[in-house]
A and B are shown apart, each in its own frame.
Chain A
């Protein structure tokens, strides 16, 4: 992987870059940082930052036209920040001390023609670096055109202060002297700062700045240090380069949103308190939209540019020799797309994290345990639970229903009802595709598995005569759009709204539609669901801003259970009203958190009763659904495969069941563990009658503490404890 593979997703981000005011400043003063220091009353530090940027603070504070104010984002909220006022305050309240550089002296000589502010700026910089500088001016003293300004005494004090840091002998002034070419012959380099239309010579060793080079006075002062660098380079290499002005104005238009910022009137800057208050008005503009809108990014406290660099560094790391730094965060992204949706420059951290997952999977540096459960679920959904069928008696069809894997697992009745509805409204011309879109593989970074499934879906769809796929799950739709763009798609909800299906009595008078992340870019899907909700007469309220993720996205539950919980809680708390959802995973998350919600299909096909099915029940539901649909529509028999351990009856406490659901342990895993132990006798025994057995399944080792159920059959067991770990043991040394 190259660095650009990752930075392509964050290259446009301007987090941490100069604010719009600083871009407008001829000195590129970091106004944000300067205001922060002023706000805290750190006047010495503020003055030092000011002096470093503007060379002569008193001159600039008095004369700069302050283009920063035109691009101050505080302007519409009470008026632009008084930056010149803050500069004057820093000058007034700081203990000012000029500082030189500790560098060895140079023997080369430089002449500066013109002792105005521009010439002095270059001369000061060269003299501080210990070049022997001679400043000429035809006037009787320094200051040039500023000598006529009534504030000249202030300016002269500033000049004196700054030049006080120059070591003796490194800056000589010759006034009342109109220089000629002959006067300059002995110097190694010459800088002309002679004012508009002033005297200058052309040649390798001659440089020019300020108004005589077409710059403003402020640009001339600002460019003094740059001119000094160009001349130094010439003195070292003998090759003259042009003095190029800063391209500071390029990003003046990078404004950030200030939602919730209140208007505040300007403050006087004469007093210390007043100046601090004025500095506090500065909004310290920096774009943090993605971070402000993502609890994952807030949790890990890293910034977009740094994340891209770290993701790249991880891609080049070879653990255990070189360690990675971004593993947990990479697998904690829900891939919800919210960061991208709120980014003013279309940066896409979610896509970057997904690329990083792909890279980690390919290089086998990502923990397999994070996605092992979901990949096994996908294999089940695309294997035994899958079937592609044209309507009975037909080879092809105009429509095919693709309900997705999770809806049939959690609410098989809704799939059956929806399929019946589609058959009714299409004159029996809707086929059936039970399967999985492959997003678990995408989220795991397993592109081979994803592509194999995509090929299988494409082949099945082509065999069915390339029908329009009716989807019920927004994530399936997004995956199809990305990987099977040739397939025409329509949502079940659009078909229902168009058919004028009569709703049952609405569950709620007032509700909010909670959009799944994958519907973010599908306005038609979002409006279809709202149409359905309105048809049934529910008053809808809209959730604020870009939709959040319920936490299910990206399968972050294993790598970051705490963040998974927080995503769910925050999404549930978005509105007091009950939610109408159209993603079965959102429904499960909200039901688990105690948030009142219904799937929109429940509103039309009747509410689901009972709790959330367990992991095992979900699989059983999927197989039963397949069996019943095949029987009902095709008169085909399907017998789900059976395991010898299926007959084991386990008595598991509610507390333990909850723990198993949270840690994604299926009852089937327990049955298999116990059955293996009982069959082979490979178990531990305690005096009080408990047994303990373990089973290594894929990358997880399960442990079950159990004993025969009291008064039960020989297949009945009571489970006392369930736990698992990811480490494997190689074996003990037996003596």
Chain B
């Protein structure tokens, strides 16, 4: 999978999937995304940002 081919430049380690808390429009929820296990740097793929995230953003904006 493309998203797991990335590694953290600073820490030099591959990313692993972790639950990350997202916030938008005063609501928060958690979702598993690839994260640097050492420094916590998060990876959001283009597919996620323009797909599911955009959908959820629009749904929250409409509420």
A residues in contact (CB < 8 Å) with B? 319-320, 323-324, 327-328, 367, 369-370, 559, 681-687, 691-692, 694, 701, 703, 705, 721, 723-735
- CB pair B6 A686 closer than 8 Å: yes
Scoring B6, B33, B37 by chain A CB atoms within 10 A of each residue's CB, the highest score goes to B6
- CB pair B20 A319 closer than 8 Å: no
Give chain A residues whose Cβ lies under 8 Å from the Cβ of B53: 725, 727
- CB pair A727 B22 closer than 8 Å: yes
Assuming the A-B contacts A684-B15, A729-B21, are A734 and B40 also in contact, with contact meaning beta carbons closer than 8 angstroms in the complex?
yes
B1-58 CB contacts (< 8 Å) to partner A: 5-10, 15, 18-28, 33, 35, 37-44, 46, 49-50, 53-54, 56-57
Give chain A residues whose Cβ lies under 8 Å from the Cβ of B41: 682, 684
- CB pair A725 B49 closer than 8 Å: yes
Cα-based distance from A319 to B10 in the complex (angstroms): 40
Give chain A residues whose Cβ lies under 8 Å from the Cβ of B43: 684, 692
Assuming the A-B contacts A692-B43, A723-B46, A723-B49, are A683 and B9 also in contact, with contact meaning beta carbons closer than 8 angstroms in the complex?
yes
Give chain A residues whose Cβ lies under 8 Å from the Cβ of B38: 734
Closest to A690 in B: B6
A-B contact pairs, 21 of them (CB 8 A): A319-B26, A320-B25, A323-B63, A324-B63, A327-B61, A328-B61, A683-B10, A685-B6, A686-B7, A687-B5, A703-B44, A721-B46, A727-B24, A729-B20, A730-B28, A731-B21, A732-B20, A734-B18, A734-B35, A734-B37, A734-B40
- CB pair A727 B23 closer than 8 Å: yes
- CB pair A728 B22 closer than 8 Å: yes
Closest to A317 in B: B63
Give chain B residues whose Cβ lies under 8 Å from the Cβ of A734: 18, 35, 37-40
Give chain B residues whose Cβ lies under 8 Å from the Cβ of A733: 18-19
Give chain B residues whose Cβ lies under 8 Å from the Cβ of A367: 25, 61
Identify which of B10, B33, B49 contacts A724 (C-beta below 8 A).
Answer: B49
Scoring B21, B27, B33, B37 by chain A CB atoms within 10 A of each residue's CB, the highest score goes to B21
- CB pair B22 A729 closer than 8 Å: yes
Give chain A residues whose Cβ lies under 8 Å from the Cβ of B62: 324, 327-328
Cα-based distance from A323 to B23 in the complex (angstroms): 17
Give chain B residues whose Cβ lies under 8 Å from the Cβ of A730: 20-23, 28
Give chain B residues whose Cβ lies under 8 Å from the Cβ of A684: 6-9, 15, 41, 43
Give chain A residues whose Cβ lies under 8 Å from the Cβ of B22: 727-730
Identify which of A370, A681, A686, A728 contacts B23 (C-beta below 8 A).
Answer: A728
Identify which of A681, A727, A729, A732 contacts B10 (C-beta below 8 A).
Answer: A681
Closest Cβ of chain B to A370, distance in Å, is 8
- CB pair B63 A327 closer than 8 Å: yes
Closest Cβ of chain A to B18, distance in Å, is 4
Give chain A residues whose Cβ lies under 8 Å from the Cβ of B39: 734
Assuming the A-B contacts A687-B5, A732-B18, are A723 and B63 also in contact, with contact meaning beta carbons closer than 8 angstroms in the complex?
no
Closest Cβ of chain A to B7, distance in Å, is 6
B residues in contact (CB < 8 Å) with A? 5-10, 15, 18-28, 33, 35, 37-44, 46, 49-50, 53-54, 56-57, 61-63
Give chain B residues whose Cβ lies under 8 Å from the Cβ of A324: 62-63
Cα-based distance from A386 to B6 in the complex (angstroms): 44
Identify which of A319, A682, A724, A726 contacts B63 (C-beta below 8 A).
Answer: A319
Closest Cβ of chain A to B27, distance in Å, is 5
Given contacts A320-B26, A684-B15, 11 further A-B contacts (CB under 8 A): A320-B25, A324-B62, A367-B61, A682-B9, A684-B7, A684-B41, A692-B6, A701-B44, A705-B46, A732-B42, A735-B37
Assuming the A-B contacts A684-B41, A734-B37, are A728 and B6 also in contact, with contact meaning beta carbons closer than 8 angstroms in the complex?
no
Give chain B residues whose Cβ lies under 8 Å from the Cβ of A705: 46
Give chain B residues whose Cβ lies under 8 Å from the Cβ of A723: 46, 49-50
Give chain A residues whose Cβ lies under 8 Å from the Cβ of B25: 319-320, 367
Closest to A705 in B: B46
Closest Cβ of chain A to B12, distance in Å, is 9
Give chain A residues whose Cβ lies under 8 Å from the Cβ of B27: 320
Closest to B48 in A: A725
Give chain A residues whose Cβ lies under 8 Å from the Cβ of B49: 703, 723-725
Closest Cβ of chain B to A444, distance in Å, is 14
- CB pair A727 B61 closer than 8 Å: no
Closest to A726 in B: B57
Closest Cβ of chain B to A439, distance in Å, is 22
Closest to A677 in B: B9
Give chain A residues whose Cβ lies under 8 Å from the Cβ of B33: 732
Give chain B residues whose Cβ lies under 8 Å from the Cβ of A735: 37
Closest Cβ of chain A to B37, distance in Å, is 7
- CB pair B44 A694 closer than 8 Å: yes
Give chain A residues whose Cβ lies under 8 Å from the Cβ of B37: 734-735
Cα-based distance from A732 to B33 in the complex (angstroms): 9
Give chain A residues whose Cβ lies under 8 Å from the Cβ of B57: 369, 725-727
Scoring A559, A726, A733 by chain B CB atoms within 10 A of each residue's CB, the highest score goes to A726
Give chain B residues whose Cβ lies under 8 Å from the Cβ of A686: 5-7
- CB pair B63 A725 closer than 8 Å: no
Give chain B residues whose Cβ lies under 8 Å from the Cβ of A370: 61
Give chain B residues whose Cβ lies under 8 Å from the Cβ of A682: 9-10, 41
Cα-based distance from A263 to B49 in the complex (angstroms): 56
Closest Cβ of chain A to B36, distance in Å, is 8
Identify which of A327, A703, A727 contacts B56 (C-beta below 8 A).
Answer: A727
Give chain A residues whose Cβ lies under 8 Å from the Cβ of B28: 730
Give chain A residues whose Cβ lies under 8 Å from the Cβ of B46: 703, 705, 721, 723
Give chain B residues whose Cβ lies under 8 Å from the Cβ of A701: 44
Closest to B54 in A: A725
Give chain A residues whose Cβ lies under 8 Å from the Cβ of B56: 727
Enumerate the 9 nearest inter-chain pairs by beta-carbon distance, A residue then B residue, closest first: A323-B63, A730-B21, A732-B35, A727-B24, A732-B18, A684-B6, A725-B49, A367-B61, A685-B9
Closest Cβ of chain A to B44, distance in Å, is 6
Cα-based distance from A72 to B35 in the complex (angstroms): 71
Give chain B residues whose Cβ lies under 8 Å from the Cβ of A727: 22-24, 53, 56-57
Closest Cβ of chain B to A730, distance in Å, is 4
- CB pair B63 A691 closer than 8 Å: no
Cα-based distance from A728 to B57 in the complex (angstroms): 11
Closest to B26 in A: A320
Cα-based distance from A685 to B23 in the complex (angstroms): 26
